[in-house]
Structure 1
C-alpha cells in the first residue's frame, strides 16, 4: 500500500525572496545550457545552482557542481533564504496554462511518499532510464541529502481526492503565486489541517502510484536508501531517506496533458537515412511531402496535420538535414505481431515509440543498446516545431516526429509491469523545481 504523508517542507523565505518566480525553474533535465545560464543571471539564489550547478574546467573531487550545490544549500539555510516549516503540511499545487487555445488548471499535492522497490507493485515505472544520469543524480543526492524537485506521479481517481484537494484551498490565499517565463501561473497552498492529512493519506493508501516524470530521480532515491543502509549504522525505518518527495496528480484531472517526445539523432548520414527509408518500405506505407523554399511552410503544416489526423494508426514522421522532403511512415498491418509477437506484449507493440525504437532504430538502422543509451547522440523535443528547428539549425541530422502516447497506454503498461522505451512521454506542464524541498538528514 502507498504511504503518503505530510512533511516539513523547506521553502524560500518570502521575507527575503519576494518573487518566487525569479528563483524557481523547470526540472533539471529539460533545462538547456542557454537556459541554465539565463537562470543563473536571473537571481543569485535561483534553484538552478542547486539542481544543475554549472561545471568548470577546474572541477575536482572536492569542488564540483555537486559539492557547490551542497554548499549553496547550507549557506542559504544559514542566511534564512531557505526556511524549514515548523509543522508538517501537504502542499497543494495548481498550475494554470493555455493549451490549444483553452485555459486549463491542473491540481496536485506535494507529499512525502514511502520508497518501494518496483517489484512490490506499489510505485510503478513506465519508462527505461539512462545509467549515466542515475549515477550523476546519485552523486548529487549523496552530497546534498535533499530532494530539490518532486517526482511527478499519477494515481487513479474517480474524482474524490481531486475534489478534496480543490476544496481544501478553495477559500484560502496561496503562499506562492506567480507567472513563469512560459506564461504559466503557479499557485501553492500549505495545508496543515490534520483532518485533511488523514483524509488524503487514507484515500491514497490503496492506490498504485504511476511515475509520470522523474524515473531517474526515483531510482536514484532507491539507490541512495541502499547506500545509507550499507554505510550508516544509525539508518532505520524512521530515517527520512525512506521517503521521497512527490507531486501527486489524479489521472482524471482535466489539466493533465501528454505531449510526444520526438526523437532527434546525430551521426546519421544522408546516405544511411536514405537506405533506411528504402528498407522501411517492407514494413511501412510511405507518403512523401517534397517542398521548395517557396512552399516549405505550407507543406510542413500539411505534413503535420496529416500525421496528427492519423493518430489512430501507427505512424511516424521523418525529416532530415538538407533533405527537401518530409515523410510519413504508416505501419502495415500485422508487422509488429509478426516480428515481435513472441517477444513483446501487445501493449508495447501498439506504441508508436516501440515501433520507432525496435523496428526503425534497431532493426532498420542497426542501432545497438549502447547507441540507444548514448545521450550525446540522441535528443528530444516536446513539439514538432522544435524538432524541425533542431534539424534546420544543424544541431541534429534527423528528426522522428511522433503522436503522443495516451494516458490509458501508460496505465496499462505500468500495471502489467512493463516499461516503455526511454522518453516515451512528455507530461505537460512540468512540475516547477524549487517550490518545496524535502530534507533527508536524520
Structure 2
C-alpha cells in the first residue's frame, strides 16, 4: 500500500530567520491578493515569493513568476537563508489552535510518499479539481524542481499506532522548531532520524490507504511532472525522486482534525433567474424564510447561521442570501426528489452530500450553470467565512450566497473508498498545513 520514506528536508536557517512567522504562509490557494501583499512586506525571504509570486505586465517567457521563484530558491540556498538537513529524517509536527474558544491540537507526519495512480486505490482523492490551477502549478514545479508545501493526506488509525509511535520517540525532547504563526496557531517540529523508527513507520503505513484532504491539484501536478520525466528518459528508477511527493499525514481519528464548510458566492446571475430562484427552489426544497430587518441585521444573521449549523449532524439543509431580497432562507431538500433526479447520474454516497444537492439542483437545474461555468472561479467564489459570503452579496454587488454545513469525515472516507469525487471545494480542513516549514528539492 502506501510507501513513506525519510528525506533531507530544506528549512529556514534559524540564525538568518529566527522568527518563522515572518516567512511562512498558508497554502497558495487561500492567499488573496491582499494577503500576498502582506506576506511580501513581512520579510524579503517570505515563501510567498516561491509559491505565489507577483506577476507584472513586463513578464516574458524567460522572466516571470516561475523563473523568479526558481532564482529566489537557488539564491536563498546558496546564501544560507535555506539549509538542507545533513541527515534524512521524518518530521513530526504538532499544531495547537483555538476554535470557538476551545483549544485543540493535531499531530502530523511529514515525509516523502511514493506517487501512485489513483486507480490503484492506494492514494485516493475525494473531490474534483480545476484544470487551470493544475497547469499553473506544473509550470512552477518545472521551473523549480521542488516541493514547497506538503499535500495534506489522512489515513485510518483507530489504535493510534503511527503518530503514537512518533510521539513516544520525542516525548522528552524539546522541539527543533517552535513558533506562533500569522493566525495565532502554535507550531512545533521534531526531526526523527532513527532508521529503525523510519522502517517501522514504513511498515505501519504499508497497511494503509491515504486519502487526500487538501492538495489535489498539487498531487495531480506531481503525477504529471513524473510522467513528463518518464517520457523524456524512457524509463526512471523506482527510487527516482520524481516518483515521490512530499506529504503531511495525519490520522482521521485525531480529535484535532476539523472540517469547515466552504460557502459559495455566485457573482453574476441573470435578473429573471435570480428573481425566480426562491419560487423555482420550491419544487425541490421546503423553504424557511427568516425575515430580515435592516436595523437588526447582525442579530438576524447570527440567528440564521445558528439555525443552519443546527442541521450539521444530519445535513440536508442549505442556507441562502439573495441580493435585493429581505429574507435569509433555509432550504430543506425534499427526500422524495433526490433519487428520481439523481438516479443513474450520481451514486448513492454522492446524493446525500449537501454540496452535490447544491451543484446539481441549484447551480445546474435552477441557475442553468454549465460545466464551464462551474469551473469558473470568478463566477463562483469560495470562502470558508460565512460573514464574508454574506457581505459580498450585501455590499459588493454579488448575486447570491449559499451557506453550507461541513462535509463529515465519514463522508470523505466513503466517497474516496468508492472511487468517487465530490464537487470542487467540498471540504476545508482546518488548520491548513502551513507552507515554509519544510521543503524538498527533487533534483
Tell me which interval the TM-score lies in, with the shorter structure as reference length.
over 0.9
Equivalences for residues 43-442 of structure 1 within 5 A: 43-158=43-158, 159-232=160-233, 235-311=236-312, 312-394=314-396, 396-441=398-443
Q: Deviations over 1:4-31 (max 9, x none)?
A: 1111111111121111111110000000
Q: Which ranges of structure 1 fall in alignment gaps of 5 or more residues?
A: none
More displaced 10-residue stretch of structure 1: 167-176 or 181-190: 167-176
- Post-superposition offset of 1:269: 4.1
Aligned-pair distance for 1:164? 1.3
2-side partners of 1:275 and 1:330: how far apart? Answer: 18
Distance 1:96 1:227 in 2: 39
Q: Report what 2:5 is aligned to.
A: 5
Q: Give the conservation status (yes or no) of the 8 Å contact 1:381–1:387.
A: yes
Q: Equivalents in 1 of 2:243, 2:299: separation in Å?
A: 54
Q: Which region of structure 1 is more displaced relative to structure 2, 85-94 or 286-295?
A: 286-295
1:145-164 Cα distance to aligned partner (Å, 9 max, x none): 00000000001002111211
- Cα RMSD after superposing both structures: 1.2
CA distances 1:34-66 after superposition (whole Å, capped 9, x unpaired): 000000000000000000000011111111101
The within-5 A match list for 1:11-50 is: 11-50=11-50
Mapped contact 1:289–1:326 kept (Cα < 8 A): yes
1:187 Cα deviation (Å)? 0.9
SS of equivalent residue, structure 2 residue 280: helix
Equivalent pair of 1:92/1:189 in contact (CA under 8 Å): yes
Q: Is the 8 A contact 1:162 1:253 kept in 2?
A: no
Give, in whole Å, the separation in 1 of the partners of 2:398 and 2:169. 47
> Residue 108 of structure 2 contacts residue 249 of structure 2 at CA under 8 Å; is this kept in 1?
yes
The answer to whether the 8 Å contact 2:274/2:399 transfers is no
Whether the aligned pair in 1 keeps the contact of 2:269 and 2:367 (CA below 8 Å) is no
1:165 to partner: Cα distance: 2.2
Contact 1:259 1:383 in 2 (8 A): no
Q: After superposition, give the CA deviation of every residue in 1:49-104 in whole Å (9 maximum; x if it has no partner).
A: 00000001111111110110000000000101111111110011111001122111
* Residues in 2 aligned to 1:175 and 1:269: alpha-carbon distance in whole angstroms: 56
Q: CA deviation at 1:234?
A: 7.5
Moved over 4 A (4+): none
2:323 and 2:397 in contact (8 A); partners too:
no
C-alpha distance in structure 2 between counterparts of 1:415 and 1:269, whole Å: 39
**1:129 to 1:395, Cα distance in 2 relative to 1, 3 A:** farther
Q: 1:383: Cα distance to partner?
A: 2.5
Secondary structure of 1:97 counterpart: strand
> What is the CA deviation profile of residues 247-291 of structure 1, one whole-angstrom value per residue up to 9, with x for unaligned ones?
000000010000001111111245422212211101100111121
Distance, in Å, in 2 between the alignment partners of 1:28 and 1:395 is 26
Cα offset for 1:233? 5.8
Please identify, of 34-43 and 386-395, the stretch whose mean Cα deviation from structure 2 is larger: 386-395
Cα distance in structure 2, aligned partners of 1:184 and 1:296: 31
1:344 to partner: Cα distance: 1.1
Secondary structure, counterpart of 1:295 in structure 2: helix
Contact map agreement 1:263 1:401 (CA 8 A) in 2: yes
Moved more, 227-236 or 214-223: 227-236
- Aligned residue for 2:391, secondary structure, equals helix
**TM-score between both structures, scaled by the size of structure 2:** 0.97
Cα deviation, residue 392, structure 1: 2.8
Could you tell me whether the CA contact under 8 Å between 1:313 and 1:330 is conserved in 2? no
Q: Cα gap change, 1:95/1:395 in structure 2, threshold over 3 Å: closer, same or farther?
A: farther
Paired residue secondary structure (2:335): coil
Deviation at 1:398, TM superposition (A): 1.4
Paired residues of 2:95 and 2:106 also in contact (CA < 8 A): yes
Distance in 2 between residues matched to 1:413 and 1:234, nearest whole Å: 34
Shift, 1:338, TM fit: 1.1
Distance in 1, matches of 2:80 and 2:382, equals 38
SS of the aligned residue for 2:196 comes to helix
Q: Distance in 1 between matches of 2:249 and 2:397?
A: 35
For residues 225-256 of structure 1, what are the alpha-carbon distances to aligned partners after superposition, in whole Å with 9 as ceiling and x for unaligned? Answer: 01111124674322201000000000000100
Give the drift of 1:395. Answer: 6.1
TM-score, normalised on structure 1? 0.98
